[in-house]
Amino acid sequence: MSMETVIDSGKLKEIFKQAIVEAIEEKKDVVHDLLMDAMEDLAMIHAIQDGEKTDPASRSEVFDILEGKA
C-alpha cells in the first residue's frame, strides 16, 4: 500500500510567503543592511555610467571640487 501526498500549490505558496515575512521581521537589521548595500551599488553604477559620458577632468579640477573651490 502506497501513500501519496498531494500538496495544494496555493497552500504551499502561502506557507512560503509567511516564512519569508517571518524571516524579514526577525532579521530587520540584516534586511536593512542588504537593501542599503544594493542601493549604494546601484548609485555607484549610475555614477560610473554618467561619468563615462563626460569629458575627463583634470587633477586640479578634481582637487578644486574636493577643496570647495569650484
Q: Is 68 left (phi over 0), alpha (psi -120 to 50) or beta?
A: left
pLDDT of residue 3: 53
- Residues 3-34 have pLDDT tens digits of 556 678 888 899 999 999 999 899 999 999 99
C-alpha to C-alpha distance for 62 and 27, rounded to whole angstroms:
41
Residue with the larger pLDDT of the pair 41 and 5 = 41
C-alpha to C-alpha distance for 15 and 61, rounded to whole angstroms:
57
Structure confidence at residue 49 as a pLDDT band (50, 70, 90) = very high
